[in-house]
Structure 1
Amino acid sequence: MKLELFIVNKIKSGGISGKRLAGPVVKVAVAGITLGMVVMIISMATGLGFKKEIREKIIGFGSHIQVVSYDFNLSFETNPIEQDSLLEEKLKEVPEIKHLQRFATKPGLIKTRDEMQGVVLRGVGPEFEWSFFRSIIEQGDTLTLSEDRASNDILISDDIAGMLNLNVGDKVPMYFFEDQIRARNFTVKGIFNSHLPEFDETFIIVDLRQVQRLNNWEYNQISGYELLTGSFEGITETGMQVSRIVAGHISPDGTMLRTKTIKQSQPQIFGWLDMLDMNIVVIIFLIVLVAGFNMITGLLILILERTNMIGILKALGITDWSLRKVFLTLASNIALKGLFWGNLLGLGFCWAQFWFRFLKLNPDNYFLDTVPIHLSLIHFLLLNAGAVIAIFFMMLGPSYLAARISPVKAIRFE
């Protein structure tokens, strides 16, 4: 057994005199690192989970990338483009594109006996990806669509249903304003709730054919294509690839096309979400700082308590580096024990919250009804590696101080 490790084991077991403070100091240091690690894991998991949940909700209403007319019309009363099977095939060949679907929009007005509400019909086809809406449906079911006949069913949000006192199965009169007022009756097939008022109070999901008829479009005219990718992180690069394909393509009717990513469509929301990264970094930095100072204080107390031992060891010829290694090893044992329990408790809490969702939120303030959890392996490993490196470098100072102690003064120290 190496000399440094032998001395460390003796200090930990109390085999070397001066145990009056060692036990409580070690326990406090371990508890501090444990608590700090728990807070860091929970902070990162909830911060990343919040970003992921909000991001998926926004993408559920607008997809990752849209291909639309080049007219820069920012309203929901869009100019049509023609469906193009050649363009669709080219877009599907982009590696990151996992799904392609058509869409069309039409502003309108819902009016019941006592209330009215301005809305936007979002027409979707049989190929529409329903996974997001299935996850937020509270009553009823998603639409059943086919290419053979148009459906009169619609999906409305819980906010609209509450404002207009509507339930599943109710008939809904809607009015559309052009050269003359046009009226249509729809049937509520399902009620969803994303907890995002900006979208819930605006969009109604309807059959694409209904929007085409209301816009006086041909069967092959749409507002554009929506593209779903395999990864949000690469959305900018994928958007550039799609843009290059679209830039060199002209629709059969001569219309030029452009692309826009969800980040470009909703810059204010994604700018707000990006600020969460800075909040997480600041929290983790402060916690590491506090845990590090806690370790420094504990190690200084241990050094002060072992001053006589340090003097005797130096008088016997131990090198400064070996002496530093004693206290660095002792600090490492304390840190590893704290990291172990911190990881165990932090991951245990995240696991319990992920499956049982016992911590609730007010969706009016947080847009979610439970505290979200998301933590990937890479984030977990980076967090632990960062904590180990930070604590190690903060331990170098106290260990250097121990090596600078004079043997004569240390032996006489009481």
Structure 2
Amino acid sequence: MYYPLFIANRLSLKVKGDRGAATGMTVGIVGVAMAVMIMILAMAIVTGFKHDIKRKLQGLNSDITLYHPDAYITLTPQLGTVLDEVAPGASVSVVTDRTGILKTSDQFQAVTFRGLDSGYDLGFLASTITHGSFDGFFSADEDEGVEPMVLSAAVGGILGVGVGDKLTAYFIENGDARVRRYRIIALYDTHFGDYDRGMVFVPKESLSFDDAMLAGKAGTSVLIDGLPENEITPVAQALYERLLAASADGDIDTFPVIDTLLHSQELYYNWLSLLDTNVVVILSLMGVVAAFTLISSLFILILRRVRMIGILRSLGAANRQVSDIFVILSLRVVGYGIVIGTVVGVALLWIQDAYHVLSLDAASYYLDYVPVLISWQQIAAVDLCVAVISLLVLLLPSRLVSSISPASVMRYE
């Protein structure tokens, strides 16, 4: 067995009767544990925040949108074939957006009505419902001529209405006023204030004021959803090239505008990218803290065992071998710190994930609690990096033993 390892394994981190040495080792362990814990918390919180915000952006907007600026777009069989070829398995739906006014007896609010067809994925919107549900959304009350509506809690508060109440909506179509009656079946809250104050959801047929819309395959936009984030741009590019070829062949009459989530919500994605810089700063600072505490602990270990160093040197031990003893001792400090920091960090993350102890101002952060995403790969990476960096940091100061004279050390008190 490598004898520095043999000796280090039999040495205690505490020197008997030396409270200063014990305090130094405790500080070292606590310093490493704090650094590891904060690194794990920072990465989990930022990763969770980015994940939840991106999920909301994808839920409130489509991955890819096709539209004509001045006309309706129809999901023709030819266009459907192109979409199936370029994005197989993606969710395709047709929506109609119209601006109108909601009115009660004493209040009114201008909003955008989004008409959804039966192919629209209601999964995300259903998760934001605070009162009511989407049950019966695509079935109108024909006896009363009232259509279902899902309204935001913000607009509901402005108008003073809730689930079960009826509202009158006014639209302008080709210079004529159109009136629709709606019953609120649910209230939603996405915590995106501007979106919540300006968007309501209704069945697409309730916004159909002409024959083209009544056909069911026409609307203001065709939405493509269900794509992984890293596939949105490649699919959009492939769709552009395929539609260009179809237009040249005469398979489609007009070439639609293609917009992507990454383009329309670029401001939010750039903001989320800046969070990575914050993580780098935090990790760097915690790395420096861990390095200083480890070096301090190493010096304490060396200074408290100078007589042992002198004995080993006088017995012929090489400087490198004596240095390795103290590096191994210091790595035990690192090991204890990593284990404690990891356990405490994961425990805090679990508590936050389960009980949402820490809250956020939803008006500023678009979430009402601090989100976390526990990734065992990230945790393992943090622990491994801390261990490797600690080893590298300890190598240079451990060479201090080479400057100690065996003759003078034997008389050291």
- TM-score after normalising by structure 2: 0.89
Give the 3 Å change call, closer, same or farther, for CA 233–394 of structure 1 in structure 2: farther
Secondary structure of the residue aligned to 2:410 is helix
Does the 8 A contact of 1:123 with 1:211 survive in 2? yes
Gaps of 5+ in 1: none
CA distance, structure 1, for counterparts of residue 382 and residue 86 of structure 2: 34
Residue 153 of structure 2: aligned partner: 158
Aligned residues: 406
Is the CA contact 1:92–1:100 (under 8 Å) kept in the aligned structure 2? Answer: no
Q: What SS does the aligned partner of 2:399 have?
A: helix
In the other structure, the counterpart of 1:125 is 117
* CA distance in structure 2 between the aligned counterparts of 1:156 and 1:215, rounded to whole angstroms: 27
Note the C-alpha offset of 1:234. 4.0
Distance 1:331 1:101, change over 3 A: farther
Within a 5 Å distance, the mapping from 1:12-411 to structure 2 comes to: 12=12, 19-69=18-68, 73=69, 79-94=71-86, 98-142=90-134, 144=136, 152-178=147-173, 179-213=175-209, 217=213, 219=215, 220-250=217-247, 254-411=253-410
Q: Which deviates more, 231-240 or 377-386?
A: 231-240
In 1, are the aligned partners of 2:4 and 2:321 still within 8 Å (CA)? Answer: yes
Q: Is residue 21–residue 305 contact of structure 1 (8 Å, CA) maintained in 2?
A: no
TM-score by length of 1: 0.89
CA contact (8 A) 1:158 1:200 kept: yes
> Quick one: which amino acid aligns to residue 222 of structure 1?
G
CA contact (8 A) 1:41 1:346 kept: yes
CA distance in 2, matches of 1:408, 1:247: 87
Q: Secondary structure at the match of 1:255?
A: coil
Q: 1:147 to 1:188 in 2, by over 3 A?
A: closer
Q: Does 37-46 or 400-409 show the bigger shift? A: 400-409
Separation in structure 2 between the aligned mates of residue 270 and residue 214 of structure 1, nearest angstrom: 38
Change beyond 3 A, Cα 1:94–1:337: farther
Aligned partner letter, 1:12: S
Distance change in 2, residues 1:389/1:212 (3 Å): farther
What do you get for the CA RMSD once the two structures are aligned?
A: 2.7
| Maintained 8 Å contact 1:109/1:118 | yes
* Cα shift readout 1:136-174 (whole Å, capped 9, x = no counterpart): 101111154559999811111100000111111211111
CA positional deviation for 1:292:
1.5
For residues 269 and 412 of structure 1, do their structure 2 counterparts lie closer, same or farther at Cα, with a shift above 3 Å needed? Answer: same
Whether contact under 8 Å (1:104, 1:222) holds in the other structure is yes
Q: Confirm or deny: 8 A CA contact 2:138 2:148 kept in the other structure.
A: no
Contact 2:64 2:236 in 1 (8 A): yes
Larger CA deviation: 234-243 vs 187-196: 234-243
Q: Which moved more, 1:209-218 or 1:262-271?
A: 209-218
